Structure 1
Amino acid sequence: MNTPIAKTCFVGVDIGTTNVKALALPPDLSRELAHASRPVETLNPQAGYAEQDPEQIWSAFADVMAEVSREVARAGYEISHIAFSTAMHSLLAMDENGKPLSHAIIWSDNRAEPQAAELRGLRADLGRAIYEQTGIPMHPMIPLCKLAWLREHDPRLLRRAAHFGTIKEFLWHKLTGHFEVDYSMATSTGLFDATRLTWSDLALNYAGVRANQLSTPVPTTHQRPLQATVVGGRTGLAETVSLLIGASDGCLANLGAGAIKRGTTTLTIGTSGAIRQTVRKPLRDEQGRLFCYILDDDYFVVGGPTNNGGNVLEWLTEKLTQQDTTTLLAEAETIAPGSDGLLFLPYLQGERAPLWDAHVRGAYLHVDWQHTRAHFVRAALEGVLFNMLSINELLMKETGPTRVIHANGGFAQSRFWVQMLADMAGVPVRLNASNESGSMGGILLTMKAIGLVKTLDEAAKLVAFGETFEPDPKRHRAYQQVFAKWQAGLGKNT
């Protein structure tokens, strides 16, 4: 009796800061065939440091792929393609065989603040020139500044390492045997000339590394087969699987959210957050405050990231109130918009956009006798969104007005918080049917790479949506006044 030929499916893998996740869908995207997730630990060996163990991330990835492979097989499918969405700005040293010589220094690590400050201050002309080439603001998060920190504080590692790369490059090498990086991730390093599509001599000279210590840049649709050493084994992957290198999590979140057209803004709040638009030509902010990453041929994602998103809610629950999230959100909902004058600046972990200041810290303003725990919670939630909208003000100067927001990330699980966003922004807020926008973006990019769709515009039309939240005009007017006071308070506190 002949064994039936399994139907093929696509998998999008999202290597995030807190979890490694994977989503499997058939080519018609009609249903979820499998989903798996494993947590990733962040290490804080000293104040301002944030690191992750690349081997733990590999282990989480292997477990996720094994689980997805089993679920897909039970459904009568086999995996044909796997695409990667990965958190940006990590840096680890490796030997010539891809073995880690260090932990990965991740985006939230601030040890390179002196180097970033130098490129914004004493050597601002150099910082501006690098920004014009690379499209990424000078900040301690970027590998450019982290390498410069190593040059000063650990030159032995800089000399010893055969290779420097991101978490994606470490995983890609383990899977394929090649040191390669997609254009999207490369543009997030501060080392890549996004116009010439090659490593920037200007940035390399400052960082103190050579081009041959970095990966070969490739398009986001670049594919490789699995190398024989990882076929089967712990991952459960078959030799027929093709790997698509994919892009950064921010770029693929935009694609996976269906946010390709002008006027469509994506707002993501997980642990951190970002607000972005997809444009058809590279953009640069005159003051170097917005990023611009490559997504694909003639598609670029421009916007700004924040350090302070869901981590603020985590701080409220774990450190300020010792109450669960459900309780606090319910209490906050009883308070009127504007929190009776209480304002919150959400800079608990320094800030990227719009301030690009690793030293700035949060504050409650106008604290009054009448303010209760519920006020403090609502003001904090409002502060996170006010900060996001202040980034959007910078973005709209370059791209035009926001007409609709596509929202995703952990915050989208709170209808209350999403409605607050609609009321503040004064535009509709749409949720995706799937909250796994990074994985979905990887799958859509796969479909374009193999010819199932011709363009990313066509791919974005396949995205399914859930609920749309319409703004309340009365609350929007009230929030416009509060936002003006919040911005004034920000100016006095920074």
Structure 2
Amino acid sequence: MNCFVGVDVGTTNVKALALSADLSQVLAHASAPVETLHPKPVFAEQDPAQIWSAFVQVMAEVNRELAGAGHTMTHLAFSTAMHSLLAMDAQGEPLSHAIIWSDNRAEQQASDLRTTQAELGRQLYQQTGIPMHPMVPLCKLAWLREHEPRLLRRTACFGSIKEFLWHKLTGEFAIDYSIATATGLFDAANRQWSELALAHAGIRADQLSTPVPTTHQHPVRESGQTAGTGLTSAVSLVIGASDGCLANLGAGAIKRGTTTLTIGTSGAIRQTVRKPLRDEQGRLFCYILDDDYYVVGGPTNNGGNVLEWVTEKLAQAETDVLLAEAEAIAPGSDGLLFLPYLQGERAPLWDAHARGAYLHVEWQHTRAHFVRAALEGVLFNLMLINELLMKHTGPTRVIHANGGFAQSRFWVQMLADMSGVPVRLNASNESGSMGGILLTMKALGLVATLDEAAKLVEFGDTYEPDPKRHRLYQQVFKRWQLGLSQNT
């Protein structure tokens, strides 16, 4: 039996999902961890060699499972995290680690584009559709220009983790339009590198990969490097898109009024629109998914990492125990509020210097209160982003939720109560891989549009909001916003 595979290269794991050609069966699944390095304060890097090893491990496992059951992989599509940047030589070998989205070394360069160079920042936002922030490769390149000019001169190609993997598998330097729009270097309207951005970054267009549609295909180039993956030239690779865009598609969130909320290590809230969109104050991103599909929204630095911090550094207890304790606390945490800015913030503040805080701490508050307030704070920040998003796209009627947080019924019900709309989960939580597979079907002409592809998504549970808790959360949200305005 032929099958499709989606690979999701995230911040913490490389994962792969194999589905039958009619999408009715999960035929294989594998995952391998990826380590983030912090060589200096505010630095966040990953080793491309380790990511490649994780990819090889995952693909070898998937291929073993498929072969053992008599299945044949025909197509493989990629979903990858955005905003990574590494330097490569002419053969595609890394000259540096990958600087990932959570790296804040380019704080000053991003700040300049929002203050002293604000007019240039506005022009770049209008061209690229991405707010100026240290996560953006444009700002990282500006930092390298000032701090590592020799590396800039030695580099044949600057690219993302996806481009590194793609070159290893195909010999081609290519970047999909979706990842390209996340670089801050791409003129989205004209589908080409921005001369304005290149001049600011201090690099040439020939130091960047060739932009291609998200449905671009290329066969595997068999070599000694690819032998361990089990992939052969009979497998056609689909370049795919970014994890955020494919999380929308894989969650079946294509129609107006359907909002996707993802919480993994970080988080985001997004809608799919049919025309490019720009916020007048440059607070929302707009990424290309396909020819006539764009994903607009805002990302947060502070998602599942907040729960990790509470678990490991504050309460120092098992996550399941803490969640059970927090669930017993009333909504609103008896007045305790939490601003979740442990690693600066992207949307809606776009302030790498933002910091977290507990507010209105009282004697009665226990560790359960502190845990619940932290979970509520993460969602309040996402609701704040959603308020901004709805001004441009119209009201949210249903939320499609995915990411690691979707495994907690308590946290998902909290989202439904807070938002006041139904929250729907997918049958599979691998929305990035699923989105890649659906994009493959579009590339092969098996579906005519992504609207048609989204209809193939299967759903699991739906969480309905409790009206009483929603009214309470509306009042708590106002207090939380007041606390935010007084502490930022």
Q: TM-score, normalised by structure 1?
A: 0.98
User: Residue 241 of structure 2: SS of its match in structure 1?
Assistant: strand
Tell whether the 8 Å contact from 1:175 to 1:230 is kept in structure 2 after alignment: no
Distance in 2 (CA, whole Å) between partners of 1:492 and 1:419 is: 29
Cα offset, 1:74, TM superposition = 1.6
**1:33 alignment partner, SS class:** strand
CA contact (8 A) 1:231 1:237 kept: no
Q: Does 1:339 align with 2:348?
A: no
Give the Å deviation of 1:237.
1.1
Deviations 1:146-180 (A, max 9, x none): 00000000000011101100000000000000100
Deviation per CA, 1:48-80: give whole Å up to 9, x if none.
Answer: 000000010001001100000111112211000
Answering whether residue 385 of structure 2 is matched by residue 382 of structure 1, we say: no
- Find the aligned partners of 1:114 and 1:232 in 2 and give their Cα distance: 40
Q: 1:427 aligns with which of 412, 415, 421?
A: 421
Deviation at 1:185, TM superposition (A): 0.3
User: Partner residue of 1:75?
Assistant: 69
Corresponding residue number in structure 2 for 1:3:
none
Q: 2:275 aligns with which of 265, 281, 284?
A: 281
Paired residue secondary structure (2:247): helix
Return the alpha-carbon distance in structure 2 between the equivalents of residues 200 and 489 of structure 1.
40
Q: Does the aligned pair in 1 maintain the 2:2–2:72 contact within 8 Å?
A: yes
Write the letter of the residue equivalent to 1:367.
Answer: V
How far apart in 1 are the matches of 2:459 and 2:70? Answer: 27
Unaligned runs of at least 5 residues, structure 2: none
Aligned with 1:328 (options 322, 326, 331): 322
Q: Which residue of 2 aligns with 1:452?
A: 446
Aligned residues: 488
Q: 2:250 aligns with which of 234, 252, 256?
A: 256
Please state whether the residue corresponding to 1:228 is helix, strand or coil: coil
For 2:242 and 2:166, the matched residues in 1 are separated by: 14
2:393 to 399, 402, 406: 399
Pick from 313, 316, 337 the counterpart of residue 319 of structure 1.
313
CA distance in structure 1 between the aligned counterparts of 2:235 and 2:221, rounded to whole angstroms:
10
> Do the aligned residues in 1 keep the contact of 2:261 with 2:401 (CA within 8 Å)?
yes
CA distance in 1, matches of 2:67, 2:233: 15
Shift of 1:229: 1.1
- Structure 1 residues 232 and 208: CA distance shift in structure 2, 3 A: closer
CA distance, structure 2, for counterparts of residue 11 and residue 155 of structure 1: 40
Task: Name the structure 2 match of 1:113.
Answer: 107
TM-fit CA distance, 1:238? 2.2
Contact 1:231–1:239 (CA under 8 A) maintained in structure 2: no
Give the aligned partner of residue 201 of structure 2. 207
**Which residues of 2 match residues 87-486 of structure 1 at below 5 A?**
87-229=81-223, 233-486=227-480
Deviations 1:374-393 (A, max 9, x none): 10000000000000000001
- Which AA in structure 1 matches 2:219? P
Shift of 1:230: 5.4
Matched residues in 2 for 1:31 and 1:468: separation? 22
Which secondary structure does the structure 2 equivalent of 1:59 belong to?
A: helix
Q: Which runs of 5+ in 1 are unaligned?
A: 1-6
CA distance in structure 2 between the partners assigned to 1:163 and 1:446 by the alignment: 27
Provide the C-alpha distance between the structure 1 equivalents of 2:197 and 2:410, rounded to a whole number of angstroms.
44
Provide the secondary structure at the position in 1 that maps to 2:432: helix
CA distance in 2, matches of 1:30, 1:232: 29
Q: Deviations over 1:381-418 (max 9, x none)?
A: 00000000000011000000000000000000000000
3-state SS of the aligned residue for 1:361? Answer: coil
CA distance in 2, matches of 1:400, 1:91: 34
User: Cα–Cα, structure 1 residues 175 and 232, in superposed 2: closer, same or farther, change >3 Å?
Assistant: closer
Question: Deviation at 1:232?
Answer: 6.1
Amino acid at match of 1:278: T
Q: Residues 483 and 26 (structure 1 numbering): CA distance in 2 closer, same or farther, change over 3 Å? A: same
Percent identity of paired positions between Structure 1 and Structure 2: 80
Match of 1:4? Answer: none
- After TM superposition, the runs of 4+ consecutive aligned structure 1 residues lying more than 6 A away are none
Q: Determine the C-alpha separation between the residues in 1 that align with 2:62 and 2:263.
A: 26
Q: Distance in 1 between matches of 2:281 and 2:205?
A: 28
